[in-house]
Structure 1
Amino acid sequence: MVRSTFLSAFLALSLATFSSAQCGSGTPDATVSGSSGSFTASVAGSQVYSGSDLYSAIQTALDGISSGQRLSILASGSLGTNVISIPSGITFEGCGTIDVQANNGRGNIRSLNTQDVSIPYLTLTGSPYFGMHFYGVSRLSLGEINMALSGGLGIRFERDEAANSEVSMDSINISGAGSHAVETWNIDGLTINSVVARDVGECGLLLQSTTNAQIGTVDGTNVATGTGYATFRMANANGRLSDGSYETNVFVENVVARGGGRGVFCVSESGGVQIGNVDISDTGNNAILIENCYGVEILGGSVDGGGDVRISARDEFANTRDVSISLEVNGANVVERPCGENISWDISGDASLDVC
């Protein structure tokens, strides 16, 4: 992939977002309005549902529109364990707050094997299995997604289903997830403006088997505390291209980690990544761990306290190679064990160095 600059990529994404109408404005093709115990669904100005069940109101409205049309959920309320499946070509916007509860193995808001789905706004609360669930999607657009959860996983792209392409996310803000905030599998062509994770049990952003990605900021506070996970983690051959090479194709502008487990973690034959800047402090596990990864650049930034900055390897994969790290490190160790291949260190600060 020929890399466009971050500035142009994110400017284009931001302009597309900010130039769009506010949630529910204009004349949506369908709406769901009302409040707890009394909901109304309308399609093309005609009422199609009136009753106490938010799920029935949304589903009835969704059934009444087709590709190229927009459904605006103006109401707040609970879906319980119910699942909303968004078909191809639909714009689905949640202007109120929707509470959801776990449905084993399923996402309460999902789109599977679809094209051209847009979810420009959505606010979820509750404890889902997956708040949002995707696979087999192309040209999926997620905008301002906010989840204040009490468990579960925020956004999941499935592992063992059809692959995905051309996925974009603007502003993802997730707190309280028991698992990951955002977990991807099998995406070719991913653009994310920002992922902000707070008090999340596992990763802030976990990329797996994902290629040709441009990521703005991954920002985590108290993410993965007491675990081996990280604010930003790449695993399971993330960044490995179809020809088996690790030419740089994953670009990350900035990783911020405060406390929690690890800050940045690359593992299990991943790589092909360039991280522009890191700002990591007081992690309970490694600030940065590069383990059995290939073609990793960290261009600058700082680590202050917390765990080691480390290059490592396990026996089951080829040794770590082609890594370049430039950092200011204070109050932490820099360790390379075992020795990698073609490793370049440029470390300033008061860190102790144990490198090859």
Structure 2
Amino acid sequence: MARLSLLTALSLLASLVSAQCGGTADATVDGSSGAYTATAGSTELYSGASYLAAIQAAIDGITTGQTVAVLADGSIGDATITIDSGKTFEGCGTIDVGYNAGHGAIEVLNAADVSIPTLTLTGAPYFGLRFYGVTGLSLGDITMNLSGGIGIRFDRDEAANVDVSMGTISVTGASSHAVETWNIDGLTIDSVVARDCGECGLLLQNTRNAQVGLVDGDNVGGTSGYATLRFANTNGLLADGSYDTNVYIDRVVSSGGGRGIFCVSESGGAEIGNINLSNNGNNAILIENCYNLAILAGTVTGGGEVRLAARAEFANNRDVSLSLEVNGNTVREEPCGENSNIVITGDAAVTIC
């Protein structure tokens, strides 16, 4: 009887979650291949064969503060969906996407207060989601089962971004990064879960005032030199030129693939609470020209060495603190950094200054 009650409760919960997606939408996209409709209340916005046209008509047919729910599955082909300010986009169905060079399958550009609480993408896009110049962007639970491309991208050479939040971002099969950020001030992420991705799980660049829960990578980075978690290109550098701690990562889990953690190119100002790295290729951890980085606890098992290094074109490492158990591996600091505080237990061969 208890088992039946539990199964019944789970079934009701699943039904409730399903009903919630699109349940309060102001416009919906429904139908199936070759026959899609977009409606807002009693008004028909689109009827025809194009899934893309139906979605864009629904977005364009609502105003600030309103919600579009895409209930239907379909393919937008090698095209882009554009969401403008103040709108909520619920992807209740599965949206298959193609390759639109230099563009995202879904884009939010120079816009404020856009929300995408749920979304499932498949396909091989150039970028799954592309952003720049956004303020108050909210991403919820995003799932991408890809066969190529980058999952989420904030552009490098465009307008900066302020106040970005993400729930759980799950990306499988990207040929490049699962999530790549540039130029964000104010970022929160519950978790990034990357599987079988060619480059990074989470790549943070020129991003500050960030709080991330979990970064979890399995077979991420391969032999590319990238990592499950990578800080690069002055990540964590504050406007006053300091590297006071402002990037917080609760936990990093990484197995197989390429590097586990990589801090490089004048990045820092970061604290990682706990790590569990196993059998990473290249370096389990590489810290190179990084300033004020602390890894407070965790384990490294097997894989490539834990290395503190430096390139000649940047100032050497400084204020790096590691407290780790390392087994079946080596730990090496070369050259000597400034104010290093490295405490290693386990059976690793340790060569530090």
Report the counterpart of residue 163 of structure 2 in structure 1: 166
Match of 2:193 among 192, 196, 201: 196
Report the counterpart of residue 135 of structure 2 in structure 1: 138
Q: Is 1:213–2:219 an aligned residue pair?
A: no
Report the counterpart of residue 272 of structure 1 in structure 2: 269
Report the counterpart of residue 25 of structure 1 in structure 2: 23
Maintained 8 Å contact 1:81/1:102? yes
Report the counterpart of residue 308 of structure 2 in structure 1: 311
Deviation of 1:175 after TM superposition, in Å, equals 0.4
Relative to structure 1, is the Cα distance of residues 237 and 344 closer, same or farther in structure 2, using a 3 angstrom cutoff?
same
**Aligned partners of 2:342, 2:59: CA distance in 1, in Å?**
55
**Aligned partners of 1:211, 1:268: CA distance in 2, in Å?**
15
SS at match of 1:95: strand
Report the counterpart of residue 9 of structure 1 in structure 2: none
Q: Is 1:301–2:294 an aligned residue pair?
A: no
**Aligned partners of 1:334, 1:93: CA distance in 2, in Å?**
47
Q: Is 1:351–2:348 an aligned residue pair?
A: yes
Deviation of 1:23 after TM superposition, in Å, equals 1.2
Taking structure 2 as the reference length, the TM-score comes to 0.94
Q: Is 1:228–2:225 an aligned residue pair?
A: yes
Letter paired with 1:242: A
Match of 1:101 among 87, 98, 101: 98
**Aligned partners of 1:136, 1:119: CA distance in 2, in Å?**
16
Match of 1:324 among 318, 321, 324: 321
Maintained 8 Å contact 1:153/1:180? yes
Q: Is 1:64–2:61 an aligned residue pair?
A: yes
Letter paired with 1:279: N
SS at match of 1:97: strand
Maintained 8 Å contact 1:30/1:45? no
Q: After alignment, is 189-198 or 29-38 more displaced?
A: 29-38
**Aligned partners of 2:343, 2:19: CA distance in 1, in Å?**
47
Report the counterpart of residue 127 of structure 1 in structure 2: 124
Report the counterpart of residue 84 of structure 1 in structure 2: 81
CA RMSD of aligned residues (A): 1.3
CA offsets 1:168-217 (integer angstroms, 9 cap, x no match): 00010000000000000000000000000000000000000000000000
Maintained 8 Å contact 1:85/1:109? yes
**Aligned partners of 1:191, 1:48: CA distance in 2, in Å?**
36
Match of 2:333 among 329, 332, 336: 336
Report the counterpart of residue 285 of structure 2 in structure 1: 288
Deviation of 1:20 after TM superposition, in Å, equals 12
CA offsets 1:81-136 (integer angstroms, 9 cap, x no match): 11111000000010000000110100010100000000001100000000000000
Deviation of 1:19 after TM superposition, in Å, equals 11
**Aligned partners of 1:275, 1:56: CA distance in 2, in Å?**
44
CA offsets 1:214-237 (integer angstroms, 9 cap, x no match): 000000000000111000000000
**Aligned partners of 1:82, 1:19: CA distance in 2, in Å?**
30
Q: How many residues end up aligned between the 2 structures?
A: 338
Ranges in structure 1 where 5+ consecutive residues have no aligned partner:
1-17
Deviation of 1:22 after TM superposition, in Å, equals 2.4
Relative to structure 1, is the Cα distance of residues 248 and 176 closer, same or farther in structure 2, using a 3 angstrom cutoff?
same
Ranges in structure 2 where 5+ consecutive residues have no aligned partner:
1-15
SS at match of 1:96: strand
**Aligned partners of 2:339, 2:298: CA distance in 1, in Å?**
21
Match of 2:236 among 236, 239, 242: 239
Deviation of 1:264 after TM superposition, in Å, equals 0.2
SS at match of 1:125: strand
Letter paired with 1:207: L
Letter paired with 1:53: S
**Aligned partners of 1:350, 1:21: CA distance in 2, in Å?**
53
SS at match of 1:59: helix
Maintained 8 Å contact 1:268/1:291? yes
Report the counterpart of residue 118 of structure 1 in structure 2: 115
Maintained 8 Å contact 1:211/1:239? yes
Taking structure 1 as the reference length, the TM-score comes to 0.94
Letter paired with 2:239: S
Report the counterpart of residue 53 of structure 1 in structure 2: 50
